[in-house]
């Protein structure tokens, strides 16, 4: 059973229109795999008959958008970026922000929140006492943001990359799920945000995690997103992209530093920008 070209075109148009994410021909298998459970749930025999339903059913359309914009995600995904976070990014920021003793971090396209809470756990372990941190978790999907706020994860989700010591330290059982503790929840703020459109008013971030999401956008949209992200990253801040996204052709506004096999991007100060006050918080 394979999805027809008509159904695939309908779904990829829908996703492109609502989120600017691209599902190019060749991704049929992915669309089918993500939609099959929804089709079964809706009582449809196959994905094509489910897609036919979408025309008249906005609630199902929302489910499709959620299913197709999910970053498949695990705790401390890929591990190395989180090592870069604690070993490379935190030390200079702790020195540079000692007057405000606050860090501001953005987990963009946060999906169900594993990245935001993974960062919150590391901050809990590495921030000196008296420091605070705020993590903005943003996503285009309101369902995902609800999940982040609830902070509840299934057994299967908890098994994915969560160190057992952190599981017992930061989570408690709630029915068949595990719920993140209030201290971490307080560190994470959620906001609905579509990366492909102009950003709402955002604070200046010391660190931005924008991982495994640019791959879904066309080149112009990618460049536009990176340009807008540049404006909200502190001049001594950091941007981290997904592993396969670091070879992107970034413009001259970004410099690149390697930490092991992780590439980290930092704003470069261009001649034009030297005239503007730097965006250091509390300066």
Partner 1 sequence: MEPSLTDVRMVVEEVWTSFLGAEDPLLPMAPGTLDVGWSAAVTVSGEWQGAVSVELPRSMAEEIARRMLGLDDEVDSVGDDDVADAVGELVNMIGGNVKSLMPGPSALSLPVVAAGRVARASDVIEACRLDASWAGAPLLVSVHVRHPEKG
Partner 2 sequence: MYALIIDDSRAMRSILRRIVTDLGFETLQAGDGQEALDHLEAGRIPTLCLIDWNMPVMDGYTFITRVRANAAWRDITLMMVTTESEHGQIVRALAAGAHEYVIKPFTPDAIADKLEMLGLVAKPVPA
**Residue nearer to partner 1 on the CB measure, 40 or 186:** 40
Restricting to residues 43-82, name those near partner 1 by CB under 8 A. none
Among 83, 235, 243, 269, binds partner 2 (CB under 8 A): 243
Task: Considering only the stretches 28-36, 71-79, 127-135, 212-220, report the one whose residues sit in contact with partner 2 under the rule CB under 8 A.
Answer: 71-79
**Residue nearer to partner 1 on the CB measure, 10 or 153:** 153
Strands ordered across the beta sheet of 171-174: 152-154, 177-180, 171-174
**Residue nearer to partner 2 on the CB measure, 2 or 172:** 172
User: Site mask, partner 2, residues 133-162, x = CB under 8 A?
Assistant: ----------------------xx-xxxx-
Total Cβ atoms within 10 A of residue 263: 19
Residue ranges of the alpha helices (H) in the chain?
A: 5-19, 28-41, 47-54, 58-69, 80-84, 90-96, 114-126, 142-150, 155-159, 164-170, 182-187, 219-232
For residue 70, state whether it binds partner 2 (rule: CB under 8 A): no
**Residue nearer to partner 1 on the CB measure, 4 or 174:** 174
Q: Do 266 and 96 meet the contact criterion of CB atoms below 8 Å apart?
A: no
**Residue nearer to partner 1 on the CB measure, 67 or 119:** 67
Restricting to residues 164-193, name those near partner 1 by CB under 8 A. 173, 175-177
Token pair belonging to 58:
């906005």
Interface with partner 1 (CB under 8 A): 36-37, 40, 154-156, 173, 175-177
């Amino acid at each position: 059973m394979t999805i027809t070209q008509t159904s695939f075109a309908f779904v990829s148009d829908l996703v492109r229109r609502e989120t600017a994410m691209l599902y190019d021909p060749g991704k049929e298998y992915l669309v089918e795999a993500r939609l099959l459970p929804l089709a079964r749930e809706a009582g449809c025999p196959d994905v094509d008959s489910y897609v036919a339903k979408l025309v008249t059913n906005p609630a199902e359309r929302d489910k499709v958008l959620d299913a197709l914009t999910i970053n498949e995600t695990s705790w401390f995904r890929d591990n190395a970026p989180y090592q870069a976070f604690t070993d490379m990014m935190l030390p200079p920021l702790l020195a540079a922000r000692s007057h405000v003793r606050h860090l501001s971090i953005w987990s963009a396209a946060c999906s169900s929140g594993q990245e935001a809470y993974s960062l919150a756990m590391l901050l809990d372990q590495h921030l000196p006492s008296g420091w605070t941190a705020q993590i903005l978790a943003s996503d285009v999907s309101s369902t995902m943001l609800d999940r982040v706020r609830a902070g509840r994860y299934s057994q299967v989700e908890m098994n994915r990359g969560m160190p057992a010591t952190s599981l017992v330290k930061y989570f408690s059982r709630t029915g068949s799920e595990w719920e993140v503790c209030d201290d971490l929840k307080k560190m994470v703020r959620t906001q609905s945000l579509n990366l492909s459109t102009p950003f709402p008013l955002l604070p200046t971030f010391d660190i931005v995690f924008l991982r495994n999401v640019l791959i879904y956008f066309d080149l112009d949209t990618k460049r536009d997103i990176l340009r807008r992200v540049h404006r909200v990253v502190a001049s001594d801040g950091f941007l981290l992209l997904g592993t396969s996204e670091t070879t992107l052709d970034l413009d001259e506004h970004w410099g690149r530093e390697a930490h092991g096999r992780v590439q980290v991007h930092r704003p470069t100060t261009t001649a034009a920008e030297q005239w503007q006050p730097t965006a250091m918080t509390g300066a």
